[in-house]
Amino acid sequence: MRKLAAGNWKMNGGRAALDEVAALCAAHPAPECEMLLCPPATLIAQMAWAARGKALKIGGQDCHPAVSGAHTGDISAPMLKDAGAAYVIVGHSERRTDHGETDALVRAKAGAAIAAGLIAIVCIGETEAERDAGATLAVIGAQLDGSLPEGATAATLVLAYEPVWAIGTGRTPTIAEIAEVHGFLRARLTERIGAEAAGVRLLYGGSVKPSNAAEIFAVSDVDGALVGGASLKAVDFGAIVAALAA
Ligand code: PEP
């Protein structure tokens, strides 16, 4: 399994930010892990061009479940592929919250991504109230079951565990809590897709930064990270890449 350091730029960055891509690629020309940036849609084609021949993959942050049609403002999975993307994030908690995305819609998006030849990064995670109520495993188990696309394999699916309360807050679960959830996800995935589950990369996401990356990556069944804020600067994201590759 090739571990994955994935950066989610969210709604940040313009053309000037492509300097960060050049710096990242120059500092990490051949990392011992996969390196991915998911910029805003406006930058995908340019970033893919900047990353050509380099050890950096590019991804989208969302896609529509349909291939084309009357969906103003949306972007389909084949369009992302055409622009140079290799991955797409689906079901990020900000999409689920801001746009009311359900597990069924996330599942349809993930299926569309895979059908277009993209790798789908499916995000799941509990809210703080759900964790406080002791419902974490029940919530993420149900999200996994509801969001898992038909026929997913280790080559087409990445699963990102992102506790909602840890995203952009500087707070993280304890190492034991991350280990509990990732172990649970591996077992649940095995129930669903059998032996393929062993090769599916399970990312942790939520306030990963250079200072905590190494201890999170030491947890078993953590196969990489989905990184928001700390992916915007090449020096920070590069340090996370280096921690994963170590
Ligand atoms: C994210 O947006 O997926 C994320 C994990 O953000 P941050 O790293 O900023 O918490």
Instruction: Name the 3-class secondary structure at 59.
Output: strand
Region for 197 from its dihedrals, namely left if φ exceeds 0, alpha if ψ lies in -120 to 50, beta otherwise: alpha
The pTM (predicted TM-score) of the whole model is 0.97
Q: Which residues contact 198 (CB under 8 A, 6 or more apart)?
A: 154, 186, 190
Tokens of 149: 């696309």
Q: Output the DSSP codes for 189-245.
A: HHHHHGGGGGGSEEEEESS--HHHHHHHHTSTT--EEEESGGGSSHHHHHHHHHHHH
- What are the angstrom distances between the C-alpha of 44 and each of 59, 146, 161? 7, 29, 24
Backbone angles phi, psi at 33, to 5 degrees: -155, 170
CA of 227 to the centre of ligand 1 (A): 5
Residue 115 is predicted with a pLDDT of 98
Name which residue sits closest to atom 2 of ligand 1, judged by CA: 228
Q: How many A from CA of 163 to the centre of ligand 1?
A: 10
Task: Tell me which residues have their CB closer than 6 angstroms to ligand 1.
Answer: 8, 162, 167-168, 205-208, 226-230
Three-state SS sequence of 102-127: CHHHHHHHHHHHHHCCCEEEEEECCC
What is the structure's pLDDT at 121?
A: 98
Q: Is 128 a catalytic residue?
A: no
User: Residue 50 C-alpha to ligand 1 middle, in angstroms?
Assistant: 24
Q: What was the pLDDT predicted at 137?
A: 98
Model pLDDT, residue 16: 94
One pLDDT digit (tens) per residue for the chain, 246 residues: 999 999 999 999 999 999 999 999 999 999 999 999 999 999 999 999 999 999 999 999 999 999 999 999 999 999 999 999 999 999 999 999 999 999 999 999 999 999 999 999 999 999 999 999 999 999 999 999 999 999 999 999 999 999 999 999 999 999 999 999 999 999 999 999 999 999 999 999 999 999 999 999 999 999 999 999 999 999 999 999 999 998
The CA distance from 10 to 22, in Å, is: 19
Looking at residue 155, its pLDDT comes to 97
Sign of CA dihedral 168, 172, 178, 180: negative
Instruction: Measure 46 CA to ligand 1 centroid, in angstroms.
Output: 23
CATH class of 4-66+74-173+180-234: alpha beta
| Pocket residue to mutate for ligand 1, from 167, 172, 203, 209, most atoms within 8 A of Cβ | 167
Query: Which atom of ligand 1 lies closest to the CA of 166?
Result: 10
* pLDDT of 49: 95
Residue 162 annotated in active site: yes
Mutate to test the pocket of ligand 1, among 227, 232, 233 (most ligand atoms within 8 A of CB): 227
pLDDT at 77: 98
